[in-house]
Chain A
Amino acid sequence: MIELISQNPILAALAALVGLAIVFGALLGFAAEKFKVEGDPIVEQIDELLPQTQCGQCGFPGCRPYAESIANGDEINKCPPGGQSTINAIASLLDVPAPELDAEHGEESDVKTVAYIREDECIGCTKCIQACPVDAIMGAAKFMHTVITDECTGCDLCVEPCPVDCIDMLPVVETIADWRWSIPPKPGLIATDKRGELANQPVEEDAA
């Protein structure tokens, strides 16, 4: 056997290669089993990043279906409520360039809104209740409905079905409790020249 191999270098090489293949194959197989990472499936991770308004502006019935579609290669710029920050987050997750928001699906709005039912006008048709993706509207047939503000995601979906147009999307009013400090205007070289600005501005404008 050894003689045969030594006389046929090709056989020797073959044997060595096959041997190596077996050893490394076994090693890789072992490693794959042993160090298996139970990561979030990509759909879960994308779903985490979506704003969960369930508004359907992307053309899918809810955030999760859109997440599934993105995982299958759909465009990532179809979510107006999430806006550019969501697009950027998904882009960095998927390691793709971040496109601009697709205007076809709507525009990004800075103002958060919640639905409000003008209760005097409500006829109790339950159409909005059926439309609400997060069950945030209370009421029953022929009874007045109302929106649970804390649960409302501001998705707009209840506005369309209302036969008497008694649902308004009202902006969420900022209160003292959720007031936040803002980042100061950027200093120095990259931003604009502060000294020049200050010189041209009335005194009370330099509130930092």
Chain B
Amino acid sequence: MIKTWVTPGGVHPPENKHQSVTQGIGHLPIPEKLVIPLSQHIGAAAIPCVEVGQTVLKGQVIAKPAGVVSIPMHAPTSGTISAIEHRPIAHSSGMLAPCIEITSDGADNWIEHEGISDYEHISPAKLLEMVGNAGITGMGGAGFPSAVKLNPGRQRPIDTLIINATECEPYITADDSAIRERAEEIVEGIKILSAILDHPHNIMIGIEDNKPEAIEALAPHVDGTGISVVVFPTKYPSGGEKQLIYILTGKELPSGKLPADIGMVCINIGTTYAIKRAIIDGEPLVSRVTTVTGDAVGIQRNYDTLIGTPVSHLLTHNEYDEQAGGRVVMGGPMMGFTLPSAEVPIVKTTNCILAPSYAEIPDDEPAQPCIRCGMCAEACPASLLPQQLFWYAQAEDHERLEAHNLFDCIECGACSYVCPSNIPLVQYYRAAKGEIRHAREEKVKADHARERFEFHKQRIEQAEREKEEKRAARREAALKAKANPPAAKSETKSEAKPSSSAADIIAAAQARAAAKQASPEDQQAKLERTIAAAEQRLKVAEEKLAEAIESNSDKQAVLSAAVENTRQKLEQSKTKLAELQA
């Protein structure tokens, strides 16, 4: 028995797993139409590379990855592309998203494909490329592109590979039945993973003790491979990545870090099967095991389902009774979300379609006030204080929420499950998280807008300043060009332009005062002197200008302005003198 650790909290909801494993994994007829959403994973949505009306073969690429964190999509069966448009998809919002629709031809013809058996002698980079090209994402939960996850980079060597076979959600048996029937291929897939990750010395399959058949099925294949099957007591939520890492290794994943940061990679067991198919058989990910269960369906069973199969196809083939239940859940009863309609397709992360009857899962009771009984805190696997988070989420107190580590909540639903007051706690947390993320984005945007505004202002100011500088330069040149006897001030008054400089204003005022005090005779004498001086200056300036033009100096403009200025002043003085004499 290998040592395991016990996580805090957790709940034991009724398992309800036996109903769907009475029969093996079944196959359904190919649906008439399949809908493949372009975003079934975390990261950028794939870009369609087919056109409406084009015929495609099973396994043919119909959408290309958009960037590194993205995956291609493949045709799950042969047929014709009949639409590329927005359709309802498996998302809590119930909104539409871009999808490719294929009308199947029923032949299910594969595109030419080829795998490799000698994966030990192929470079990890090549294997990774094959995994990426096969469109494989994590098939347990969020759907993170596997090729990205398996490529943590040289600075993060991986010494522990954890295969997640926990399947802790009630009702779901997709992984369980897959292990029972495909243990050999799964172990093969784990060996490929080991080769990709440069043979980590710790390879563990974590599995709960409620799957004895699966554990037995794995045993002969892991014998002598160095892979250990670690069995631990059943408790929800042991299958969360953070929880499983703690159960198997006793280490906590530091908040905000990835498993690769502490030398671990965690892969769902369904994904290992897909990787085996991709490498050995050369088949992209076009189907997965999905559990169809709940008392509202007549047949509860696992199916090897084509990606893109509408849920309605599964329901009708399993005698769904519309009267018996009101909701259809994609995923399990703890973390799954209700589907807006049966037209939603199965995606790469769909492990279960749960159609419970009203007797199994009755309508929610109205919420009562929180009495802070603390049962939620006892159930929380992350040791949070759900009752306080609820309080602050209601008050929209974002600071307190962050101080209470809201973002470490894994939304497992254990708190809502035990809440005696039926408070939809998880929804509060999701809403609060969304609100905080939104506020952060807004903040970034606002800061950006502020920066752009400041820059805009600066630019305008600079343009303004440059203009002003030019004006100032002109004026200065003009002043320089004209002789500077104190008497000259009397005429400057008449042509005093509005000036920004305080000194100029004062000088002008003084000049005005002097002009008033001076008698007409004095003024006349002054003007005559000024005219003489100005004529002299004009002559000098014109000479200078001529020189500058000859030598092609860059002062030309300034000098010509100065000459013009001086000439104007001379004219003005002359007119004034004429006026005075008249």
Contacts and interface: CB of A to CB of B under 8 A. Distances in A.
A in complex with B: yes
Given A183-B393, A187-B421, A188-B367, A134 B449 contact: yes
Given A179-B93, A180-B438, A188-B369, A54 B449 contact: yes
A189 interface: yes
Contacts of B438: 178, 180
Contacts, number: 99
A94 interface: no
A182 B432 CA distance: 8
Contacts of B427: 181, 183-184, 208
B391 to A, nearest CB: 12
Interface in A46-67: 47, 50-54, 62-64
Contact of A53 (B363, B364, B393, B449): B449
B456 A133 contact: yes
Interface string A165-208: 00000000011101111111011110000110010000100101
A108 interface: no
A54 B453 contact: yes
Nearest to A190: B369
A75 interface: no
A208 B456 CA distance: 46
A153 B430 contact: no
Provide the main secondary structure of the chain B interface.
helix
Given A134-B456, A188-B369, A176 B363 contact: no
A136 B452 contact: yes
B369 A181 contact: no
Interface size band for B: 35 or more
Contact of B434 (A132, A153, A181): A181
B364 A208 contact: yes
Nearest to B437: A180
B450 interface: yes
B128 to A, nearest CB: 27
B450 A52 contact: yes
B447 interface: yes
B430 A184 contact: no
B85 to A, nearest CB: 15
Interface in B362-382: 363-364, 366-370
B428 interface: yes
B450 A203 contact: no
A47 B455 CA distance: 16
A203 B323 CA distance: 13
A62 B460 CA distance: 14
Contacts of B447: 52
B95 interface: yes
Contacts of B455: 135
Contacts of B437: 180
B457 interface: yes
B453 A180 contact: no
A136 B142 CA distance: 36
B407 to A, nearest CB: 15
B61 to A, nearest CB: 23
Q: Which one of A134, A135, A181, A206 has the greatest number of beta carbons of chain B within 10 Å?
A: A181
Contact of A134 (B364, B424, B431, B452): B452
A51 B447 CA distance: 9
B430 A181 contact: yes
A74 interface: no
Contacts of A182: 431
A153 B421 CA distance: 43
B450 A183 contact: no
B423 interface: yes
List the 5 closest pairs (A to B, CB-CB), nearest first. Answer: A187-B367, A180-B434, A194-B366, A188-B369, A181-B430
Given A180-B434, A187-B369, 16 more contacts: A52-B445, A52-B449, A52-B450, A64-B450, A64-B453, A64-B454, A134-B453, A135-B455, A176-B96, A176-B97, A179-B93, A180-B431, A183-B394, A183-B431, A188-B368, A203-B326
26 contacts: A47-B450, A50-B446, A51-B446, A52-B445, A54-B453, A63-B453, A64-B450, A64-B453, A64-B454, A134-B449, A135-B452, A135-B456, A136-B452, A151-B449, A176-B97, A180-B435, A180-B437, A180-B438, A181-B431, A181-B434, A182-B431, A183-B432, A184-B427, A184-B431, A198-B366, A208-B424
